[in-house]
Amino acid sequence: MSSQKIDVGYVAELARLELTDDEKKLFQGQLENIVRYVEKISEVDVADVPPTMHGREIVNAFREDEVRPSMDREAALANAPARTGDEFMLPKIVEGAES
């Protein structure tokens, strides 16, 4: 990456953003600082660093699947505003969906 000047006005135009001249000047400086920081990071020697997804090891705490008693079906459906048989009845939310 080189220290080329990035035209904030052009980038704003691509993003369909309307910026004032003061905003362009402010964002130009901020963007140049970001680019300098990224260039500085790219100077770090990472040849002996293995690629990782996360900065620290992640361990999942999965439990074993086991069948356990659950709520009674009638108790679960007791406060349903509408039901059809043993299921909740919900309003159609997608046009063209079958009732």
Q: How far apart are the first and last CA of the chain?
A: 57
Asked if residue 1 has pLDDT above 50, the reply is: no
* pTM of structure: 0.45
**pLDDT for 45-91, tens place per residue?**
989 988 888 878 888 888 888 999 999 999 999 988 899 988 999 88
Pairing of the two strands 83-84 and 87-88: antiparallel
Residue 69 to residues 49, 66, 73: CA-CA distances in angstroms?
A: 49, 10, 11
Q: Which two tokens stand for residue 33?
A: 């600082």
Q: Is 88 helix (H, G, I), strand (E, B) or coil?
A: strand
